[in-house]
A and B are shown apart, each in its own frame.
Chain A
Amino acid sequence: MKVLVPVKRVIDYNVKARVKPDQSGVDLANVKMSMNPFCEIAVEEAVRLREKGVATEVVAVSIGPAQASETLRTALAMGADRAILVQTTEDLEPLAVAKVLKSIIGRESPDLVIMGKQAIDGDNNATGQMLATLLDWPQATFASAIEVSGGKAKVTREVDGGLQTLEIDLPGIVTADLRLNEPRYASLPNIMKAKKKELAIEELASLGVDTAPRLKVVKVTEPPKRAGGIKVENAADLVAKLKTEAGVL
């Protein structure tokens, strides 16, 4: 069974995004970039499936600038077998990403696609669902557990107020939620080994996919700042202030 894992290069999880003074976007110059945390969880799950003997090959795919090859090397160091970079300097919307992935999937024919539920830059939470729709494959989003057997995947999903379990016929799309697993750190020997693994690069234009943006970004602004408050002396003081000053008790 072949598993395909799309991964995205985004601002590092621990870095605070800063808005550019000209309101054209978020300043990413000289900012630490990393693999999107939910994509890391997806890579980990795919690698675990291969280690269990369920999957035979794990292919990582990224769409982005030349530097996204670093993100793919991370996926290879975590245990993916090979990688594909669809190179572009455009910032693609989820619908365009889904169309590009559909094109790659048409050629790679994976049995299962595992991907992050959301990228922490655009915060759309849409690409996986869109890809499933375009492929007419079943979807199981926000997964906290995946069991694959007999051409089906049984997926436990995080829903508001609890857990839902679905069974999907493969090929299918699963999107990873936070509690699916805890991704490993790539060891130094594995980082070295990853340098020798295959990383194919192709230009986005060569795929012939319509990736024209549908949304025009008018401006990007800072959210209104919360004015800092006061320190209270003790619990009794706090309750008094909440009652009389804030009026919330």
Chain B
Amino acid sequence: MAVLVIADHDNATLKDNTEKTVTAALKLSSDVDLLVAGKGAKGVADAAAKITGVRKVLLAESDELGEGLAESMEALVVPLMSGYDAVLTPATSQGKNFSPRIAARLDVAQISEIVDVVDANTFIRPIYAGNALETVQSSDAKKVITVRPTVFKAAEHGGSAKVETIAAPAKPAKTHFVDQKLVKSERPELSGAKIVVSGGRAMGSAEEFHRVIEPLADKLGAAVGASRAAVDAGYAPNDYQVGQTGKVVAPELYIAIGISGAIQHLAGMKDSKVIVAINKDADAPIFQVADYGLVADYKTAVPDLMAALAAAGI
């Protein structure tokens, strides 16, 4: 069987969600091709060609593919599927946007956010915010799958696949790109960061969130996250949100500050290697998943932590 993986990138750099999805694809088949769809993305395709295990890289470019329009992605991928038995897409906001369209057009189920491959037809995926794992067997001839990248190890670089340019589809008639505003940040991206520092509702205000969480994150070279409660209250932007309704992260170190640990938040971070919780409520559910718990008010604990890090030469 042959498998197509759709690369995650921002037209300039390849994101490691791609290498992680290649690892999942290689569990299905050794015939794995990669599709880079974008605009001005030749450099991304060249980087993708170095991923070990990739047979060839397909490159398609147009304005709409660069803007990530779901209709264009579907129109590009569906005709290619005559040559593939499965298509795997990283479950990013972009992947989640277009992948179900490919499934619907092919009249097959989408197998969403898999966390493991049992065999070529059987997959494991989280349901109910990760409170249950469902093993599903697909009877469809073609598999359309999104992959939760955080649970797969990134494939290595060391290959030298050929890059083949393919034609881009026509512009969609009824969807028009207006603009895109990406937040420029010096910090690592939340979903791929090695350390994440998250703040919760206890912060009390957006100013306090910036004042407390961000310096600690910067000291550790960490990404900044937030609980849904903090986002709902307007203390942090939505793309900081960790949880069932936000991003799923699995860093080496996750530090939860003033976060009680609602089910939906735990769903987004419980696969982190080491979890630290700082909360003044000793009974907060976050302590049940934390490797290291510090029962203290963040107002004193965070400055103490900054000082202790400095004393340790960090």
Contact = CB atoms under 8 A, between A and B. Distances in A.
Interface stretch (B21-29, B34-42, B104-112, B199-207): B104-112
A215 B137 contact: yes
Given A218-B122, A235-B304, A93 B133 contact: no
Contacts of B113: 123
A139 interface: yes
Interface string B142-184: 0000000000000000000000000000001111111111110
A25 to B, nearest CB: 8
Looking at B113, B129, B244, the one whose CB has the most chain A CB atoms below 10 A away is B129
Given A17-B132, A158-B238, A178-B232, A226 B270 contact: yes
Interface in A1-30: 11, 13-14, 16-19, 26
A120 B134 contact: no
Interface residues of B, number: 95
B128 A26 contact: yes
* A interface secondary structure, majority: mixed
Looking at B131, B290, B296, the one whose CB has the most chain A CB atoms below 10 A away is B131
A220 B264 CA distance: 19
A133 B74 contact: yes
Contact of B129 (A94, A120, A134): A120
B139 A165 contact: no
A188 interface: no
B109 A93 contact: yes
Interface string A213-232: 01111111111001011111
Please name the 4 residue pairs, one residue from A and one from B, whose CB atoms are nearest each other, closest first: A229-B291, A235-B304, A17-B128, A126-B100
16 contacts: A94-B109, A95-B108, A123-B112, A123-B244, A126-B112, A129-B70, A138-B172, A160-B247, A163-B181, A165-B178, A216-B136, A220-B127, A220-B133, A223-B270, A248-B195, A248-B273
Interface of A: 11, 13-14, 16-19, 26, 37-38, 93-95, 98, 118, 120-134, 137-142, 144, 154, 158-169, 172, 177-179, 182, 214-223, 226, 228-232, 234-236, 238-243, 246, 248-249
